[in-house]
Amino acid sequence: MNVRILRAEGRPAAPWSNGGGVTREVAVHPPGAGWDTFAWRVSLADVTRDGPYSPLPGVRRILTVVDGAGLELTVDGTTRLLPDRCRPFAFPGGADTGSRLLDGPVVNLNVMLREGRADAVVEMVRGHRVVEPVRRPAGGGADGPEAVLVVAVEGPARLRTADGPAVRLARFDAALLAGPDAAPAEVWTDGTAAVIALSAADPARPEG
């Protein structure tokens, strides 16, 4: 099984165009893809003030507050309170979206999925969990390899595959598990880890 450890230390921070925060990319597919070419992208954003989100037509977003007191999102005129950490919320990236901080800065885990190319399930895990690989359907095509990304979002975590020793993940470190010979892995955490299963988009699932 191919496992890449993606350490939080040294991740470059890209400032938002509106000055409301910075984003640090955790992983992207295809590797090195830019805003116009990614199939999926996972990042952590430090949000320091209220403001609008940049529109991303053709992209589905899954946002999870992982640090701070939460925020209020307004998506196409509908307000949604996100006062609790570690509760994923999906919405269309092309919607008119703005956010208001409830009580100071937050850190958001952002999963961005190009419609028609990628899909994802985001699960917040506590304690021990066996992480199953994402299997490609027999004869089915996919834009790149299916993958599972594990991110330690509250406290450290440990990850072990069948063919190697346990690896410690400090807070906001990640492990990307992908490849045609993927086997289950195990995750332990005293806090919370995000397990993000990434795959080719299911054309039967309605977007938004």
Q: Are residues 37 and 110 in the same domain?
A: yes
Q: For residue 1, which of 146, 198, 110 has the smallest C-alpha distance?
A: 146
Q: Are residues 30 and 110 in the same domain?
A: yes
Q: Are residues 16 and 80 in the same domain?
A: yes
> Who wins on pLDDT, 151 or 184?
151
Considering the entire predicted model, what is its pTM? Answer: 0.91
Domain that holds residue 56: 11-114
pLDDT per residue over 43-77, tens digit each?
999 999 999 998 999 999 999 999 999 999 999 99
Q: Are residues 105 and 126 in the same domain?
A: no
Q: Are residues 53 and 124 in the same domain?
A: no
**Token couple for 101:** 């901080």
Contact 191, 129 (CB under 8 A): no
Q: Is 207 within the bounds of a domain? A: no
Domain ends where: 71, 99, 114?
114
Domain ends where: 72, 99, 114?
114
Q: Are residues 85 and 180 in the same domain?
A: no
**Residue 34, strand partner residues:** none
Q: Are residues 68 and 24 in the same domain?
A: yes
Give the chain's domain count: 2
Looking at every residue in the chain, the average pLDDT score rounds to: 89
Q: Is 35 within the bounds of a domain? A: yes
Q: Is 204 within the bounds of a domain? A: no
Domain ends where: 114, 136, 167?
114
Q: Are residues 47 and 127 in the same domain?
A: no
CATH label of the domain that carries residue 104: 2.60.120.10
pLDDT per residue over 19-32, tens digit each?
778 999 999 999 99
Q: Are residues 127 and 97 in the same domain?
A: no
pLDDT at 2: 73
Q: CA 174 to CA 151: how far, in whole Å?
A: 4
Contact 50, 72 (CB under 8 A): no
Q: Are residues 101 and 167 in the same domain?
A: no
